[in-house]
A and B are shown apart, each in its own frame.
Chain A
Amino acid sequence: MTPDSRAARAQLLGVIALFLAVGLLCVIAPRAIAQAPPPNPLCLTADWDQSRYQPHDASLRFTLTRPLRADDGRLAILVGNADLTALADVNGVRLQLPLRGEHLADGDIAVVAYLVSAEGDWTELAHFTLKRLTRAGLESVHARPTVNLQSDGQLRARQSLEATPGAQAATFQNVSLNAGLESALSRDGTDIALQGLLVGASREPARLRAQQLGTRAPALDLASYNLRFTHPGIALSAGHVGVGNQRHLINQFRSRGISAELQPMRALQIGVGVVAGSELVGWDDPLGLARSTHRVVVGSLGLEMVPSQPGTLRLDLTTLNGSLQPAPAFNQQSITDREASRGLGWQLTTSDPSQRIRFVAGIAQSRFDNPVDPSLSGVATLVPVRRETRAAKFAELALAVVRNAKLGPVATSLAIAARHERIDPQYRSVAVTLQADRLQDGIDVSGNVDVLQFQYATTRGRDNLDHIASLLTTRSRGQSFTLSIPVAQLVRAADGAWWWPSLSAGWQAAWQVGDDAPENGGFRFPFQVPDQRADNITAGAIWQRSIWNVVWHYSRSVVDNRQTDRQQSDVFANAQGVTIAIVPSPRLTLGVDLSADAQRSMETGAEAHNRRVGAQMDSRLLSSTALNLVIASTVADDRLTTRRGDNLELRAEASQGVNLYRRPQDGSQMRVFVRYARADAALRIADALQPTQRSWTLNSGLSLRFF
């Protein structure tokens, strides 16, 4: 082969190779283009440690996996409830968001990034957590002091002495001061919270403890306070606390005192509390521990037998030692005694892991005594009360028979519970109110079919558990059934179908029958031994829209006395009412109440009626001007119980707010008001309605808020 022919051959092979390469490229290239991997998806990462607290005025930094392109849409960043995208500075793949000066909460805040398309669709891109320190460098701190000064009083008054014999001075002026503090701070798992309220008044009847101390009530008094310290495994409280969790000894007993809860290990909880015998206010006894004769000491121990599954098997022990003076709590009035008791109780709770079956049982034993009470004995010698040690016990078994099962197209649930309780005669604990000498068994059935909910209960009980010969034994039975039907949801009505009401109905029946009158029981006639059935039926309907709602309620009760010589002493009662509320605008609220009730005695045929109509208007005519108007008229005709026949009440109040500083949300504000109230009353003497007695008052006041 000559060199020329070799060259020609090489050129030919080259051309063929070139054609083959081009042909191959033409065949493969489109597939290769079609199967090319997509460009890097856009991702965003946070450059701060999400598990650590960040400075209050931190700048949040993010990194994008690549720069934003036009077809990505725009980036939006929400911190909490605020869209702060406008503050963001984007530089290539770096993004910085300064938080300085922004109104954001402290503590844990969600930070969410979105991609927003040109069509306005928001797609979540990333979700982060920001732990934000407070300005003081704490994980959270909150302080809300309030100081309010008011001067109010009665400018003029006309009191009808017969209609209002309790009337005080016609004119008076009172200066009052209210100061409060709510604060909380936390760091490294330790939380401290303090809340307090002081209430002061210059006028004696307006003072906090005027009802308890009369003229000795201090002008500025401590209404409430609570100081709480918590750290993992320990919680300490002082002030108004609730202690105890044993239904027959002490159960969330609220009073002033100190309490501690410890959890040295996961399965063990220990609680100790020392509180006053009743809820106190005022300065006199700030810790509630000043009087040993009016103090309750409680200790508790809770043990989870299966620590890995809390609630599977739990044992609670409670012990109590308490003594009471005959002094009810601040917001309470009762027939009281001097009392002292010591008690010990345990409670066992168990359930299967799905909580389908639950069993609770408990026993409490209490030794009770009534110490000598000079107000009851005076100078006389009373028969001493014998100290008694008695017990109370209960057991409850609850079974979720059907739990959200499908009955056709609708969800259905059914639960049954059986309960037993026995409280010995004379059983009493100073920290709980119970009805002693009672044995009661009951069954509860509750459930729902779709949105229809129902509940049925039946009970049976008796007293005289000591079988005392001279004491009457009374047997009781009760049944009740309640039904709730939100009709709109039941018929799958559209949102605007306001005419479908939400309905409720109930029936309750109770029987109490005494056994034969015992000898030496003091019963002289058969009618003195109870034999009664009482029935009560209730019904209600609610129609609701965004700017108005209507509520209707009805009840009917029958007390059927069945004793010899008393079969006719039955009483029928009906009551019904309608309430209409309308909110046509944020500046105006209107309300109307209509109610009527009637009682009829079967024995005498006598009927008694009460009818009431009332209207109310709350209006903000201007930005800080408020006007309130209330008018109500009541007509009563029940001569066995009251002399009040006609009654008319009218109250009109106007108030004006005045901003004293440029930024009143952080500064002070003043408000003045004037109020006119009128009451017309006509008393009934025998069958005659007497002339109307009219009284009225004119009040005004000024309030100043410093914080």
Chain B
Amino acid sequence: MRSSNRESQSASQRCVRATSVFVMCALFTPHMTAAQIRVSPTGVNVASQGATTAFLTFGGIEADQVPADAFWCGELIDARPDVGLRCDPTTLFGQLPIRFDLSRASGTGGFTDIMSIPPSVARRAYQAAAAGQPAAFFYVRRFTSRSGARDVYVAVTCRLTAGGAGSPLALTDVRLAFAAETPVLALAAGDDPPPLGADITYTGTGRLQGRWEVVLPGEDPPSERDLLPEASLPLEQRGTQRRFTSLARFDVFLAPGGRLHLPGPDPTRLPRSVDGVYLLLLRIDATRDVDSESDLSAAGAGIGLVSSGAVAGFSLPTLRYVVGTTSDAPIVVSAKRVGLLQPADGGALLSAHPATFVWEVVPLAARYRLEIERVDGTPVFEAVVGAAVAAYRPPPFLAERAGGAGVSIRWHVVAISAAGREVARSEWRRLTISS
């Protein structure tokens, strides 16, 4: 029923590729040695041409045992006088770099390991296979004893494949970006941000679920742990990461193709109300994936299954944007107001025969400037009007310049003195162009 169960029950078979150590394998298989630590899954399909990440659960760890280093290698040898099978030092492909070591204690006598295989390890394994060696290699985690007892080695088989179906659903490269030329986006007031998204490289296939969140100015930034995909945590720690203001959820299917551009939230929904630095977060939920399951009972670390679809060996990156101004709010700079007469606020403006704009005369004004723009602040039209007129009949093509019927515009009037200074201005009034 479960791969981890089956492989756990046949641990001796995993060792047949090293014929000379077969007997040793039989001696030190988990079910035969009480001191042996177990792992689930015991084997995974990995990409032969790139990185792969898998969620592993080790169980049966005694109180005085602590995890030590982890190596990949092409051959196993008897670890005696220690317990289990360890890497043949002549076939070492690499050790788990500290930067990818997300292992942590979990459950009862359990230990969660996120095995992130660098591409160079897969490359070494591929070259070994091309030279006639088996197309499988091993990940061996060593456990040491504080009380001076023998070390215990536990191995996981990594089978070279295409890295698609049958491999764990795992994120191996995540890059966030706005459709802009710079890594940090600067936004002025009234500017709409450009689109944003995440370029993701992955193994396996399945659903990718999660949400976009934003850290607002004044809030405590997330920790490294908060930025981990949920599937990179042991089950009992999932759901305990801090959450921030949610912008949008996503739920997309990842075909076994290996690359995805995940569109970001609607840029117009990005908060911009106060100045400061905003931090966009990509939060990935754990999803169900039969190739990412870890059987806790098979590992001796609890009961039941843990599914870890969308695991990653790193904290997810963040994306910054800086809001620099706040002048998008209506601005009133003078105590004196220009009183607007018509058209009425919220009214309609016929596109073929636009109504005349009329306002009250301001005594000190030498002329007026009528400004018409879209509600998003895009300038559409303006007109300079003599002091005695206080009215303007716009050209028929005003509606076309504004964008046509259905578009909302706003208008206001600025009164200017003979010296060119602004002496008063009106509030904005809004209109909708109708056909």
Contacts and interface: CB of A to CB of B under 8 A. Distances in A.
B48 interface: yes
Contact of B324 (A180, A436, A662): A180
B239 interface: yes
B220 A376 contact: no
B288 A571 contact: yes
Interface stretch (A59-67, A351-359, A402-410, A514-522): A514-522
B425 to A, nearest CB: 11
Most central of B160, B165, B271, B307 by chain A CB within 10 Å: B165
Interface string B307-339: 111001111111110101111011111100000
Contacts of A56: none
B87 to A, nearest CB: 9
A560 to B, nearest CB: 10
B108 interface: no
A83 interface: yes
Contacts of A599: 207, 287-288
A333 B316 CA distance: 6
B20 to A, nearest CB: 15
A166 B246 contact: no
Q: Report the contact-size class of chain A (Cβ under 8 Å from the partner).
A: 35 or more
A375 interface: yes
Interface stretch (A296-304, A392-400, A672-680): A672-680
B274 A472 contact: no
Given A199-B322, A659-B331, A329 B175 contact: yes
A87 B161 CA distance: 77
B406 A642 contact: no
B333 A510 contact: no
A455 interface: no
Interface in A119-157: 120-122, 144, 146, 148, 150, 152-154
Contacts of A82: 381-384
B24 interface: no
B10 A524 contact: yes
Nearest to A122: B395
A83 B389 CA distance: 15
A211 B318 contact: yes
Contacts of B31: none
Contacts of B432: 546
A398 B201 CA distance: 28
A115 to B, nearest CB: 12
A101 B206 CA distance: 63
A603 B293 CA distance: 14
Nearest to A518: B135
Interface in A608-634: 608, 610, 612, 614, 616, 618, 620, 623-626, 628, 630, 632
A50 interface: no
Interface string B79-104: 00000000001111111011110000
A335 interface: yes
Nearest to A591: B269
A341 interface: no
Interface stretch (B32-40, B56-64, B145-153, B253-261): B253-261
Interface string A68-103: 000000001000011111110000000000000111
B229 to A, nearest CB: 10
Contact of B224 (A83, A206, A211, A328): A211
A426 B126 contact: yes
B314 to A, nearest CB: 4
Given A226-B181, A375-B98, A641-B230, A335 B288 contact: no
B126 to A, nearest CB: 7
Nearest to A119: B353
Interface in A138-197: 144, 146, 148, 150, 152-154, 162-169, 172, 174, 176, 178, 180, 195, 197
B218 A546 contact: no
Contact of A168 (B13, B223, B309): B223
A152 B318 CA distance: 21
Contacts of A383: 74, 90-93, 124, 128
B79 to A, nearest CB: 16
A166 B221 CA distance: 10
Interface string B130-172: 1011111000000000000000000001111111111100001
B277 A206 contact: yes
Interface string A510-548: 101010001011111101111110101000000000100
Contacts of B119: 335, 337, 428
A521 B274 contact: no
A159 B276 CA distance: 24
A694 interface: no
A43 to B, nearest CB: 21
Contacts, number: 520
A524 B43 CA distance: 10
Most central of A333, A381, A510, A561 by chain B CB within 10 Å: A333
A83 B382 contact: yes
A601 interface: yes
A81 B379 contact: yes
A641 B306 CA distance: 6
A433 B207 CA distance: 22
B60 to A, nearest CB: 22
Contacts of B405: 495
A201 B136 contact: no
Contacts of A230: none
B188 interface: yes
B91 to A, nearest CB: 6
Nearest to B386: A86
B198 to A, nearest CB: 9
Given A167-B220, A178-B324, A559-B206, A382 B124 contact: yes
Contact of B223 (A152, A166, A281, A336): A166
Contacts of B235: 642-643
Contacts of A610: 209
B360 interface: no
Interface in B26-52: 43, 45, 48-51
Nearest to B87: A380
B274 A641 contact: no
Given A331-B319, A332-B173, A527-B3, A641 B288 contact: yes
Interface in A359-382: 370, 373, 375-378, 380-382
Contacts of B14: 524
Interface string B208-231: 010000001111111111100011
B373 to A, nearest CB: 10
Most central of A331, A425, A559, A575 by chain B CB within 10 Å: A331
A331 B318 contact: yes
Given A101-B420, A632-B246, A699-B218, A375 B97 contact: yes
Contacts of B239: 642-645, 681, 683-684
B130 to A, nearest CB: 5
A82 B395 CA distance: 11
19 contacts: A86-B367, A86-B386, A165-B237, A168-B223, A205-B220, A224-B182, A279-B183, A337-B119, A426-B126, A476-B162, A512-B165, A520-B135, A525-B3, A530-B45, A534-B256, A557-B207, A623-B331, A642-B239, A665-B331
Given A333-B317, A370-B120, A433-B259, 4 more contacts: A121-B396, A224-B186, A383-B91, A569-B290
Closest 6 A/B residue pairs (Cβ): A522-B136, A644-B239, A530-B166, A152-B218, A703-B275, A335-B51
